[in-house]
A and B are shown apart, each in its own frame.
Chain A
Amino acid sequence: EVQLVESGGGLVKPGGTLRLSCAASGFTFSSNSMNWVRQAPGKGLEWVSSISRSSRYIYYADSLKGRFITSRDNAKNSLYLQMNSLTVEDTAVYYCTRTNAGGEDFDYWGQGTLVTVSS
């Protein structure tokens, strides 16, 4: 059974940093691209970042303005999101998702981790 479990969310002050992790199991992690998708309270889904299987290609939403860094460790079956210079607009549930192999959709989602940016 495919499982994606996010951790690392919490309360952080504006300008602060946070690192999210996603532990994957139930599939060959190195065979799929992975992604972060976020959802602000009461709002819609927003794509944040994608990373290819070997980390050769990493993409970010333009709106992030270079503040976030996505990485993965295939040996540890883990995905990471380093978030810097956080603002209140970054407050959201952050989901780890798997890209369907050979496709461009998100076939599995974690339960999400809440990041709250507030003074």
Chain B
Amino acid sequence: QSALTQPASVSGSPGQWITISCTGTSSDVGGYDYVSWYQQHPGKAPKLMIYDVSKRPSGVSTRFSGSKSGNTASLTISGLQVEDEADYYCCSYAGGSDLYVFGTGTKVTVL
């Protein structure tokens, strides 16, 4: 099972919105509504930001939203803030020999 494809980096100015894509196959992203997104600051453990494609855990800002179309999922961050600068990873349930597959990761830079 190959890693899901994400852009290596995305940047934006404070207040803007950005979108991170996550492309897989019909065996993972396209086959299940179980895409999740994780934020990771340097030296810290990842934090769940979005689950089941578009649901937000309690305490996560409404500026974070998720969606999916076919084999590609997306994370949108609106009203970009300095504290949003971090690495972001998507993950999909795959149900096969590799139960889960992560994305390659995207570094978000706030200009």
Contact = CB atoms under 8 A, between A and B. Distances in A.
B73 to A, nearest CB: 13
Top 3 A-B residue pairs of the complex, sorted by shortest distance between their CB atoms: A105-B36, A104-B34, A104-B93
18 contacts: A44-B89, A44-B104, A44-B105, A45-B38, A45-B40, A45-B102, A45-B105, A50-B100, A59-B99, A95-B45, A100-B48, A103-B34, A104-B34, A104-B36, A105-B36, A106-B91, A107-B57, A112-B45
Interface of A: 35, 37, 44-47, 50, 59, 61-62, 95, 100, 103-112
Contacts, number: 62
Contact of A107 (B3, B51, B93, B101): B51
Interface residues of B, number: 26
Interface string B29-40: 000101010101
Contacts of B99: 47, 50, 59
Contacts of A50: 99-100
Interface of B: 1, 3, 32, 34, 36, 38, 40, 45-48, 51-52, 57, 89, 91, 93, 97-105
Contacts of A61: 98
Nearest to A111: B45
Contacts of B36: 104-106
A47 B89 contact: no
A110 B44 CA distance: 10
Given A100-B51, A103-B51, A105-B36, A44 B93 contact: no
